[in-house]
């Protein structure tokens, strides 16, 4: 099937997570992605266990729909192959430190002298005008410096990081959107752009309402665990058997919850709880009352009762429950065999390409070098 980006070539010099996830999304949309790896391979090939068929689950998660080419960029032969690839590429993605970027000729000015139509996307740890601009781009540093750990965790506990490398993931999505915007501009101008996206900047930008609240009040945010700073009740509760979440975002939903789910009309008529602002102000009295009521019955009962009335609620699902849903696709990997992967969440009337398995290290080196006119 014809997919959106099937006429584009991506030269992917990135590694770890943010860059590879961005280029995998481009590949999912049909672009041809050539992944350049050093002779030892992308570091995530060694990040495990778990491993399967000699490949790490980490690497497999963000590298489908790519070709792997091994180049030693410290050699003139490797640099020449990289230059030839860049001359043909529509998009170049890299996440080198500034010194290595200059060393390998991946700076915007150098690339655009060779290929004025190329869109260069550089992924960094911090913005170039930031005091920490020279620091490496690690997700943990971005979550800490970018405020995410400040607002994550229980109110009476220590700051914690999100359970996945969310700063990397957010950066990948910002970079993906910026690349597509630059492609649209190139259609008008014929000239490529230089884009820089940082993990730190992406993390702070993704604080959205929490960041804006600080800018308005200058008050340090509070950690609320699973709860919401501005909506109550909007959090996880423990039922008699397991946890579930409840998202009561309107006063009407709260009235229905109190009167028809909990059979507690007194909560609905209590002046402290009739508006969301009141419930936020009085969460310390309301939430323990709700928690006590919810502990008396199984979570499934509460979720069903809420959903019948249109009140948003869901179980906190285990992974065996998550993956019982139709959320995966199978690819045939050359050394693993059938491999299940989380499918792209994007659906399009244009369709999408059949997924290619994540490549083995250097699997396509010979073919691509020959295509570039090199031995």
Chain mean position to CA 117: 28
Q: How far is CA 369 from CA 88, 183, 336, in A?
A: 13, 26, 26
Question: Residues 116, 85: contact at Cβ < 8 Å?
Answer: no
Helix, strand, coil percentages (3-state) for the chain, rounded to 5, are 40, 15, 45
202/213 Cα distance (integer angstroms): 18
Catalytic residue among 12, 42, 90, 168: 168
Residue indicated by tokens 């008529």: 269
CB atoms within 10 A of CB 330: 13
CA 143 to chain centre: 13
Contact 122, 195 (CB under 8 A): yes
Are 120 and 179 in contact by the 8 Å Cβ rule? The answer is: no
Instruction: Please say if 301 is a catalytic residue.
Output: no
Burial call 208-218: b when 16+ CB within 10 Å, e when fewer: eebbeeeeeee
Q: Residue 63 and residue 342: Cα distance in Å, rounded?
A: 12
The pair of structure tokens assigned to 316 is 């906190």
* Contact criterion met (CB below 8 Å) for 256 and 188: no
Active centre residues (catalytic): 168
């Amino acid at each position: 099937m014809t997919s959106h980006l099937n006429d584009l070539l991506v030269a992917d010099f990135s590694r770890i997570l943010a860059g590879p996830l961005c280029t995998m999304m481009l590949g999912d949309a049909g672009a041809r992605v050539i992944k350049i790896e050093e002779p030892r391979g992308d570091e995530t090939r060694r990040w495990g266990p778990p491993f399967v068929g000699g490949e790490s689950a980490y690497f497999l998660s963000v590298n489908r729909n790519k070709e792997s080419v091994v180049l030693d960029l410290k050699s003139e032969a490797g640099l020449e192959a990289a230059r030839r690839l860049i001359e043909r590429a529509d998009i170049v993605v890299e996440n080198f430190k500034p010194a290595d970027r200059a060393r390998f000729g991946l700076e915007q000015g150098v690339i655009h002298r060779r290929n004025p139509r190329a869109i260069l996307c550089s992924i960094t740890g911090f913005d170039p005008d930031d005091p920490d601009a020279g620091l490496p781009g690690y997700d943990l540093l971005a979550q800490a410096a970018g405020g995410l750990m400040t607002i994550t965790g229980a109110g009476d506990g220590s700051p914690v990081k999100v359970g996945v490398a969310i700063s990397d993931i957010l950066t990948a999505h910002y970079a993906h959107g910026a690349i597509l915007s630059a492609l649209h501009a190139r259609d008008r101008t014929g000239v490529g752009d230089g884009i820089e996206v940082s993990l730190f900047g992406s993390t702070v930008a993704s604080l959205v309402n929490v960041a804006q609240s600080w800018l308005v009040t200058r008050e340090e945010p509070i950690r609320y665990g699973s709860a919401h700073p501005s909506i109550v009740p909007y959090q996880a509760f423990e039922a008699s058997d397991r946890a579930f979440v409840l998202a009561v975002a309107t006063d009407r939903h709260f009235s229905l919850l109190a009167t028809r789910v909990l059979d507690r009309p007194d909560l609905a008529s209590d002046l402290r709880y009739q508006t969301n602002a009141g419930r936020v102000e009085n969460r310390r009295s309301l939430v323990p009352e709700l928690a006590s009521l919810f502990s008396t019955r199984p979570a499934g009962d509460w979720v069903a009762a809420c959903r019948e009335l249109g009140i948003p609620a869901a179980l906190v699902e285990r992974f065996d429950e998550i993956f019982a849903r139709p959320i995966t696709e199978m690819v045939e990997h050359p050394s693993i065999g059938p491999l299940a992967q989380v499918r792209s969440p994007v659906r399009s009337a244009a369709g999408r390409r059949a997924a290619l398995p994540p490549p083995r290290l250097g699997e396509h080196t010979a073919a691509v070098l020959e295509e570039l006119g090199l031995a």
